A and B are shown apart, each in its own frame.
Chain A
Amino acid sequence: MIEVSGLTKYYGNKKAVEDLNFTISSGEVVGFLGPNGAGKSTTMNILTGYLSATSGTAKIDGMDILDDPIEAKRHIGYMPEQPPLYLDMTVEEYLNFAAELKGVKSSSKRKHIAEICENVSITHVKGRVIKNLSKGYKQRVGLAMALIGDPDTLILDEPTVGLDPIQIIEIRNVIKELGRQRTVVLSSHILSEVQAICERVLVINNGTIVANDTPEKLSANISGEHKMNVQIAGPQSSVMSVLRSVDGMTSVALRRDNEDGTANFVIESDPNVDIRKPMFFALAKAGYPILSLQPLDMSLEDIFLRLTVEEDTASRGARKKVAK
């Protein structure tokens, strides 16, 4: 369980995060989503005791990271963005060192390390020097280090950055597996990644939380089912006029004219209306079959734009009210 209240961090005069408030319950898998420089890593570094906050508190399982750092740190496994690896050591030596550092009993150390290596699939590279491992394996060794001492909270800073697609999927699966018994906080600037792993998302921008919701609700609220890409066979102009005639349709735009006599359109509808059924019947009646229909995934940039613009207008509105 992580409780954060009023967390603020300034680097000199530069604000990194301001007045963060959130709670993460035990067993939850939560993602910090935000562009580079939004304050994700700063927040994680404060949670793990690497940095101190300018003001505000962070508690891990009820223990303040500043007042009771040793006990609080026992409950945290942290993998920073760049895994803190001693490149001249072998994987086994490194994990042994991590175990000694975290005070794992020497009687159970060997078994503990073997289990973790099995969990993150690095058993076969145990004897290799870390310097010679690929980026994906280094990332896993970093993850294994975070798991040493069996902490109940895992904090992972961009765990998949720089990996190839197969490695990304593997690491995600490992994290999902780990999240079954632990609290996991991970950061990312990739929306689909957070969607794939996390139960809840905190969107951070300019050092403040701009959204805190489940990934489904977040993307539904922002993009929703009301903006879609649809491919239809039929003459362009008549298809467009049929589309425009559907009740609840707000805009129709040609996206691409295909050579096979079909065309892709981007349609937008009233958010309160599910346009799909009436559109299907209208087009079927006119004899223009729908070949594909997909909701338009908003890119992270769009979401940020949307969220931050909303935030800006909201605060401007508030200011106006105050002025009045």
Chain B
Amino acid sequence: MIAIMKRDLRSFFTSPIGYVFLAVFLLVSNYFFFGYNVSGGASSLSYVFSSMLLILVFLIPLVTMRLMSEEMKQRTDQMLLTAPVRVIDIVLGKYLAAMMVFVIALACTLIWPLIVTMFGDPAVFDIVGNYVAMFLLIGCLVSVGLFISSLTESQIIAAIFSFVAMLALFMFSSIASAVDNVVVSAVLNWLSVFSRYSSFTAGVFSLADIVYYLSVSVVFLFLTARVIEKKRWA
């Protein structure tokens, strides 16, 4: 698992993709930070983080698209699947590699709390809540992206479908409010991984929400492993 994580993480940064991702992420997020906090004078990071949610819709597929697709296309999955490791370890290794990329990206933003604290009086729960929520949400979306990547050999198709999936998840809550039917609206709201985000930023660490995020991740990681297993029986 660790070997796979190290290799995948390395491959992000030996190809331009890792740098493109970091550059776009940091450029856009720092633009928001500058707008809201530096020039706008807000002490809360919530505005920046919630603006970044839409960026994630674009960036998550960029990171997850190649995780399994590339292995299948280059036939390197033969090496992984005939090595003495469990399929779930392969999936977890890949998942952790993608998460590490986001951890690196988020680590680069840790300068924000520093700046805000120096010049203002931010609430601690606001900062911690935003980071925890962002981390959980990314964990959830990466598992969806990884799952989609395991379905196709083509990186492009994986990227497009992941993008569509992220966009759908993003829009569920706004669609839900537009729907008249109570049941449909409730289901859409429940499915909307983004709508749960806001309670964290208000400082409410609801166990239900944490469990929700973690379980969605676990379900998709499990499904990814099943998809890989199933290929052997095809």
Q: How many residues of B contact A (CB 8 A)?
A: 25
> Least Cβ distance of A154 to chain B in Å?
12
Residues in A neighbouring B83, C-beta threshold 8 A: 73, 98, 101-102
Which residue of the partner chain, among B7, B11, B79, B84, contacts A84 with CB atoms under 8 Å?
B79
Q: Across the interface, do A50 and B232 meet the contact criterion of CB distance under 8 Å?
A: yes
**CB–CB A84/B85 < 8 A:** no
How many Cβ-Cβ contacts under 8 Å join chain A to chain B? 68
Contact status of A74 and B74, CB under 8 A, knowing A84-B79, A86-B7? no
**Residue interface mask B77-95, A partner, CB < 8 A = 1:** 1111111111000000000
- Mask, A251-294, CB within 8 Å of B = 1, is 00000000000000000000000000000000000000000000
Chain B residue numbers with a CB within 8 Å of A49 are 81-82
**Contact between A88 and B3, CB atoms less than 8 A apart:** no
Would you call A78 and B82 a contact (CB within 8 A)?
yes
Q: Tell me if B233 counts as interface (CB < 8 A to partner A).
A: yes
Take A50-B232, A86-B7, A86-B76 as given contacts and tell me if A74 and B82 are in contact as well, using a CB distance cutoff of 8 Å: no
Per a CB cutoff under 8 Å, which of A52, A74, A88 touches B84? A74
Instruction: Give the one of B3, B4, B78, B82 with max A CB within 10 A.
Output: B82
Residues in A neighbouring B81, C-beta threshold 8 A: 49-50
Q: Are A70 and B78 in contact, CB atoms less than 8 angstroms apart?
A: no
Distance to closest chain B CB from A156 (angstroms): 13
Q: Distance in Å from the Cβ of A105 to the closest Cβ of chain B?
A: 13
Chain B nearest Cβ from A69, distance in angstroms: 8
Tell yes or no: A76 within 8 A of B by CB: yes
- Tell me how far the C-beta of A3 lies from the nearest C-beta in chain B, rounded to whole angstroms: 18
What is the distance, in angstroms, from B76's C-beta to the closest C-beta of chain A?
4
Interface presence of A118 (CB below 8 A): no
Which residues of chain B are within 8 angstroms of A11 by Cβ–Cβ distance?
Answer: 234
Q: How far is the CA of A87 from the CA of B234 in the complex (A)?
A: 27
Interchain CB contact under 8 A, B84 and A70: yes
Residue contact A98 to B79, C-beta cutoff 8 Å: yes
Chain A nearest CB, measured from B118 CB (Å): 42
| Distance of A89 Cα from B3 Cα, bound (Å) | 14
Interface: B2 (CB within 8 A): yes
Counting contact residues on chain A (CB < 8 A from B), the size range is 20 to 34
B87 to A: closest C-beta gap in Å = 9
In the complex, B14 has a CB within 8 A of chain A: yes
Which A45-66 residues sit within 8 Å CB-CB of chain B? 45, 48-52
Q: Give the residues from 83 to 139 in chain A that come closer than 8 angstroms, CB to CB, to chain B.
A: 84-89, 93, 97-98, 100-103
CB B69 to nearest CB in A, in angstroms, measures 14
What CA separation (Å) do A12 and B234 show in the bound complex?
7
| CB <8 Å contact, B82 and A73 | yes
Prevailing SS type, chain B contact patch: helix
Query: B78 near A78 (CB under 8 angstroms)?
Result: yes
Return chain B residues, CB-CB under 8 Å to A52: 232-233
Q: Does B75 contact A (CB under 8 A)?
A: yes
The answer to whether B15 has its CB under 8 Å from any CB of chain A is yes
With A52-B232, A52-B233, A88-B15 known as contacts, the answer to whether A102 contacts B76 (CB < 8 A) is: no
Q: A52-B232, A88-B11 are in contact. Are A103 and B76 (CB under 8 A)?
A: no
Q: Which residues of A contact B77 (CB under 8 A)?
A: 84
CA distance A153 to B82 in the complex (A): 13
A145 proximity list for chain B (CB < 8 A): 79
**B84:A102 contact, CB within 8 angstroms:** yes
The reply to whether the CB of A82 lies closer than 8 angstroms to some CB of chain B is yes
Q: How far is the CB of B107 from chain A (nearest CB, A)?
A: 24
Specify the chain B residue showing the minimal Cβ separation from A145. Answer: B79
* Across-interface contacts of B82 in A (CB, < 8 A): 48-50, 73, 76, 78
Bound CA span A80–B75, Å: 9
- Measured in the bound complex, the distance between the Cα atoms of B14 and A85 in whole Å is 15
CB distance from A144 to the nearest CB of B (A): 12
A87 cross-chain contacts in B, Cβ below 8 A:
74
From B229, which residue of chain A is reached at the shortest CB distance? Answer: A52
- Assess the A101–B80 pair: CB atoms within 8 A: yes
| The one of B4, B6, B85 that contacts A70, using a Cβ cutoff of 8 Å | B85
In the bound complex, do residue B76 and residue A85 qualify as a contact, i.e. CB atoms below 8 Å apart?
A: yes
Residues of A within 8 A of B234 (CB): 11-12
The B-contacting residues of A in range 225-258, CB under 8 angstroms, are none
Chain A contacts to B: CB under 8 angstroms: 11-12, 45, 48-52, 69-71, 73-74, 76, 78, 80, 82, 84-89, 93, 97-98, 100-103, 145, 149
Q: Could you list some 20 contacts between A and B, CB below 8 A?
A: A12-B234, A45-B78, A49-B81, A50-B232, A69-B84, A74-B84, A78-B78, A80-B78, A84-B79, A86-B74, A86-B76, A88-B11, A89-B11, A97-B3, A97-B6, A97-B7, A98-B79, A100-B6, A101-B4, A145-B79
Listed from nearest, the 10 A-B pairs whose CB atoms lie closest are A100-B3, A84-B79, A73-B84, A84-B76, A48-B82, A52-B232, A74-B84, A84-B78, A101-B83, A78-B82
Residues of B near any A CB (own CB < 8 A):
2-4, 6-7, 10-11, 14-15, 74-86, 232-234
Given contacts A50-B82, A78-B82, A85-B76, could you give 4 more A-B pairs where the C-beta distance is less than 8 Å? A84-B76, A97-B7, A101-B83, A145-B79
